[in-house]
A and B are shown apart, each in its own frame.
Chain A
Amino acid sequence: MRRTAALIAAALIATGAAAQQHAGLSPLAASPEELRNIQRHGPWPQPVPRDPSNRVSGKAEAIALGRALFFDPRLSPRADLSCASCHLPERTLTDGRERAQGGGPAKPRLDRNTPGLWNVAQGRWFGWDGGSDSLWSFTPRPILHPDEMGASPAHVARLLRDDANLACRYAQAFGRAVPPEADAETALVDAAKALAAYLETLVSGKSAFDEFREALARGDAAAAARYPADARRGLSLFAGKGLCSVCHFGPNFSNGEFHNIGMPHMVEPGRVDPGRHGGIRRVRADKYNRLGAYSDDATRTSGSRTLHLTENHGNYGQFKVPSLRNVALTAPYMHDGRLATLREVVRHYSELDIDRLHQDGDALLKPLRLSDAESEDLVAFLRTLTSRGFPDLNPVTGPCKPQGQR
């Protein structure tokens, strides 16, 4: 009821403000439908859901262990790569490269772009292909992949056991000593769960868009008027004729699913990235998935989506719809980083090659045919999704004090 009243108030204010606007769209002018669309992109921040498949999700001691591991290059046997080597704190937890760079002397160019990690816990599938159904089950992928950290479960178990600080944090997080060599895989999974617990804490702050959205909701014309006019016009395109918000939906600007937007997906001559088609196979076969023995969800109900996944022809070449929060800070774009700027991204949608999409498969997508001014407005809107502030990512966690000591 209160929300309805706020919407009506905002609409009334919008009408008045629109009359005063001399050029372009008023920051407040909006139809009730547009107001509803805008409100769907909040509130922000959203509560972080606890993961029932991870018993240490949200547990402070596990978060501390995960934080220590995230910044520790010794997770890689060569000690040359930590999670933070690619998810750089100073680069909005991505690396600025088109495609990620692996570890070891060869530093191979990997197949995909490094996604940012802010607000990652809002996702439902993890990785560009959604090949993992939980945050914790994704983390062993870079740890074990020979082109990335190249570790083994035994290596991770040894690291946890041999480092007194990590062993202490492990004991506090999991209530037991690090498993013996024979059960190294459990140690790996626990490390993954601790890392996930830490990643769940990476929540970015409010953006100019959020402030505008809240101003609209409470009918605060003065506050809403501070939102830039070009971004306001871009928002109308985004939620209106551009239909962007159909996929970039909700508070995190992603529906969490996968789409083919006509992006090429050849990795190199003779090799194609199958995208979601491969991801569905991967997640179903993943021994760490929500249905597997390592899941802490005794009911396995959180794995029902995984259980019912079936790949279809349209999944080939689909990639995850990324969140747009902080998108201006996470260039380059797309699953393989082939688009360097937001302008290029907007141009892609504006000049979409529909022949690369199946006529009956992705009927939503049509070339937007935006003018230069409209394109600039859309980019201006996207820039307002940048958070005003980010929580501290200080890697130093200090020595672990055994329980009972202060």
Chain B
Amino acid sequence: MRAWLYVGALLAATPGLAADPLPIFDAHLHYSHDAWEMVPPKEVIALLKKGGVRRALVSSSSDDGTQMLYAEAPELIIPVLRPYRSRGEIGSWFQDPTVITHLEDRLKRYQYVGIGEFHLYGDSADLPVPRRMVELAREYKLFLHAHSDADAIERLFRRDPNARILWAHSGFEQPAKVRELLRKHKNLWADLAYRNEHGSGGKVDPEWRAAFMEFPDRFLVGTDTFAPERWHYVVEHANWSRAWLKDLPPAVAEKIAYKNGEALFGNMIKR
């Protein structure tokens, strides 16, 4: 009888063996100013916990949103610095030199693991503001979280071949293109936020399966809370991710679900 109790306790305490859902490292979240009242910080943290999100990469317009969440749950929130001071700068930030002042100021005051998520396409990546942003990332040893096409990714790497880039939405590229860039750049990681086709209906698409099997250490999942209401989608998204991850070998699934995020960002913030 005692032996059974012991086994039961062991099962409950061992990750992966107990009935606990697969933990999630959510690599793509925003807490922008219009969300602050609609979904207050405590509610955000409760939603993340309800979804079984172990850690969350958060960037916000403005960065105050990220700092609010970090203050609320430093063990859960991993801050990323967005170059946008408010919503509406998506299409203009890369031509606005005051963005650099903003970045420099925040980098001096707070800790981050990356700069992003920023929207940058094609040769805009060669403009002075993005170039300085890449320098800052190098100086502070930070990731770049780039919502970019493949061309801009290549240009960012040309600017700094040692840059570490998390490719938001994997550029909405086809899996063959994502694999091509992952092969070419060892410091490139791919987030799958706001994409469906790789795991629709709980089944992994064959082309994506090949990508996941070739690069099990390079993919991450993310919800993308680009509108306040989407915080209420975090739980749904975590469960949706678990459904398709179940169609992969468990070791690969665990890496994509949370281990890759932990390995990349888990120890970057000194507390």
Q: Taking beta carbons and an 8 Å cutoff, which residues of A are in contact with B?
A: 262, 264-266, 269-272, 274, 277, 310, 312-314, 316-317, 353-361
B227 A360 Cβ-Cβ under 8 A = no
Does B169 make an interface contact (CB < 8 A)? yes
A359 B200 Cβ-Cβ under 8 A = no
Which of chain A's residues have a CB closer than 8 A to the CB of B236? 277, 316
Which of chain B's residues have a CB closer than 8 A to the CB of A357? 226
Q: Knowing A312-B200, A313-B194 touch, does A359 contact B90 (C-beta < 8 A)?
A: yes
B200 A310 Cβ-Cβ under 8 A = yes
Type the 1/0 row for B192-221, where 1 means its CB is closer than 8 Å to any CB of A.
Answer: 001110001100000000000000000000
A358 B38 Cβ-Cβ under 8 A = no
B90 A316 Cβ-Cβ under 8 A = no
Q: Knowing A314-B194, A355-B88 touch, does A266 contact B237 (C-beta < 8 A)?
A: no
Which of chain A's residues have a CB closer than 8 A to the CB of B61? 355
Q: Taking beta carbons and an 8 Å cutoff, which residues of B are in contact with A?
A: 32, 38, 43, 61, 87-88, 90, 119, 147, 169, 172, 194-196, 200-201, 224, 226-230, 232-233, 236-237, 240
Q: Knowing A265-B229, A356-B227 touch, does A313 contact B87 (C-beta < 8 A)?
A: no
How many inter-chain contacts with C-beta < 8 Å in the A-B complex? 59
- Bound together, the chains give a CA A312 to CA B200 distance in angstroms of 8
Which of chain B's residues have a CB closer than 8 A to the CB of A355? 32, 61, 87-88, 90, 226-227
- Bound together, the chains give a CA A313 to CA B233 distance in angstroms of 9
Which of chain A's residues have a CB closer than 8 A to the CB of B87? 353, 355
A360 B232 Cβ-Cβ under 8 A = no
Which of B119, B172, B224, B229 has a CB less than 8 Å from the CB of A317? B229
Nearest A-chain residue to B84, judged by Cβ: A355
B226 A358 Cβ-Cβ under 8 A = yes
B196 A312 Cβ-Cβ under 8 A = yes
Minimum distance in angstroms from A312 CB to a CB of chain B: 4
Nearest B-chain residue to A359, judged by Cβ: B119
Minimum distance in angstroms from B143 CB to a CB of chain A: 20
Which of chain A's residues have a CB closer than 8 A to the CB of B43? 270
Nearest B-chain residue to A275, judged by Cβ: B229
- Bound together, the chains give a CA A313 to CA B226 distance in angstroms of 12
A360 B90 Cβ-Cβ under 8 A = no
Minimum distance in angstroms from A361 CB to a CB of chain B: 7
Which of B88, B119, B201, B237 has a CB less than 8 Å from the CB of A313? B237
- Bound together, the chains give a CA A353 to CA B196 distance in angstroms of 24
Which of chain B's residues have a CB closer than 8 A to the CB of A265? 229
Which of chain B's residues have a CB closer than 8 A to the CB of A277? 236
**5 additional contacts, CB 8 Å, given A316-B233, A360-B169?**
A272-B232, A313-B194, A316-B230, A355-B227, A357-B226
